[in-house]
Structure 1
């Protein structure tokens, strides 16, 4: 599992006092940075590989300003050219949002998907989701 800590900002808080629902997908994306680095080590968008195919978010509980948030990111499935992640946002050890996202390893120059390299696949396997733990 990848773990990213977020400190909610005032600007992410909406008029009813909790973190706005539009912020959650942004925080989920922040939790994927280490995975992005596996596919594009130089962070150069000319060489970018991770193209999002779809995502879903379930909002489970409100999130509040002033309390640290933990983004947990697991690898759920690894295909030939794509991978699916399972993500949770927790505050005070409570699941506040959860979701899945699917990415494809995409070659921008060739405009086609590429197989996930074995070295990356091996690293991703260290972060597989085991639902018996939760």
Structure 2
């Protein structure tokens, strides 16, 4: 990844009953929720303030690779894929751990893109320098 590796983090969870559909495997909306939990964790780890009220999602791309089952442990990993002037794209993977219904492995991957829309504005604007530096992996 070079001298300034892309900021990343992982979280672990179990697939809860609320995360499943009638067939007992994960509902597609659970993936986005797990990714957003990992995103919040990354923002906390980087010590970034003021990010969430000004970072609406503009695109979700999710590739569903395998089913995840009730009570199965999962790991959601998120990283900064691209830091733009006004936008930010995260890459992510959801991996299931081995359980009685699955050998585990990659269950979903994709990207989520957000833009910086300052409070009171209707259009995107450049990221504040502190946020841009933290999320791009720049050393201050």
| TM > 0.5 fold call | yes
SS in 2 for 1:40: coil
State the shift of 1:15 in Å. 2.2
Q: TM-score, normalised by structure 1?
A: 0.79
The count of aligned residue pairs is 122
- Higher strand proportion: 1
SS in 2 for 1:31: helix
Q: What is the CA deviation profile of residues 77-131 of structure 1, one whole-angstrom value per residue up to 9, with x for unaligned ones? A: 111011111011111261100111110011131333221222222221339xxxx
Q: TM-score, normalised by structure 2?
A: 0.76
Distance 2:107 2:58 in 1: 24
Q: Does 1:102 align with 2:113?
A: yes
Structure 1: runs of 5+ lacking an equivalent: 128-134
What corresponds to 1:34 in structure 2?
A: 41
Structure 2: runs of 5+ lacking an equivalent: 1-7, 98-103
Match of 2:67 among 48, 62, 70: 62
